[in-house]
Amino acid sequence: MLDIFLQTLPFFALIGLGYGSGVTGFFPAQATAYLTRFVFYFALSAMLFKFSANLSLAEIWSWPLVLAYLSGSIAIYLIATIVGFMRGLTTAEVAFEAQCAVIGNTGFLGIPMLVLLLGTAAIGPVMIALAIDLIVFGSLVVILVTGSRDGRMSPAIFKSIGLGLIKNPMIVSTSIGLLYSASGLPIPAPVNSFVTILGAAATPGALFAIGASLATITADRIAIPFWLTFAKLVLHPAAIAIATLMIFPVAPYQAGVVIAAAALPVAGNVYIMAQHYNVAPGRVSASILISTAISIITVSMVIAWVTSLTG
């Protein structure tokens, strides 16, 4: 446990460095926005392209893994939804609380950290988890919020979802990489060097940007954010563990990777969407802040456990 904690500590130290720079004003909100854009559209995309271009879809795709991660996530999504409706929340509020319960910071934190700690073979399962988060639950929140406001389902909703997925650089870069891998062609040396250098900026840039963005949010009315943090850091990985280890025939290594991915704190893009739709942004931001702080301990515990699980 101590060894894993010391290995994860540098990742959270980079988040802390970004947070300190943001709180002191040394790194203002505008700078954070531009750094996040650079990481999202360039550095992380280069990293994902390089990873996926050296994989084949057959190597990373596993129906048992997909069904296990999806069913475990849906279970927690439903629990958060039921709790929200029992408190008398609107459908839109419930949708965002459920997002907080199942959507982790897989892109910015999970990919660089889990690949480094669990090995390059982790990229396949992590990318499957990320794809499910983006495509299934990212679409679901838009459908629920927009449908509840309009009072009906409109074809325009699905057009908006489709365009959003097509424009997402993480999906685009991964798809291009897999297509290139399927061609069987080697990556030209200059291109490989380019994406290697650019992709190397993803880890420090993403972690620093996470910390700097946390400096702009506050933990108000912490009772509900603590519940959502518990759902994300404890219930979600527990549900994925049950699904992968007890229900579906998932290989232990793949199971360990997605369990670790499920243990990640609430993703920052949930707050961006909450702001966009003006639905409980304070509650969501507090959940991100609290879950990120607590995950310094809980993520280390989960990774230590899955490391022993996978041998």
Neighbouring-strand partners of residue 266:
104
Domain span at residue 12?
Answer: 2-310
**Structure pTM?**
0.87
Contact 121, 256 (CB under 8 A): no
Stronger pLDDT, 74 or 168, i.e. the higher one: 74
| Averaged pLDDT score across all residues of the chain | 88
**Number of domains, the chain:** 1
Q: How far is CA 93 from CA 73, 138, 253, in A?
A: 18, 15, 36
| Dihedral, 247, 64, 231, 132 alpha carbons, nearest 10 | -160
Is the confidence at residue 153, as pLDDT, over 60? no
In which band, very low, low, confident or very high, does the pLDDT at 167 lie, cut at 50, 70 and 90?
confident
pLDDT at 151 over 90: no
Amino acid occupying residue 7: Q
pLDDT band at 285 (very low <50, low <70, confident <90, very high): confident
| pLDDT score for 163 | 74
Q: What is the CATH number of the domain that holds 111?
A: 1.20.1530.20
pLDDT digits (tens, 9 = 90+) for 229-283: 999 999 999 999 999 999 999 999 999 999 999 999 998 888 878 877 888 888 8
Can you give the length of the chain in residues?
311
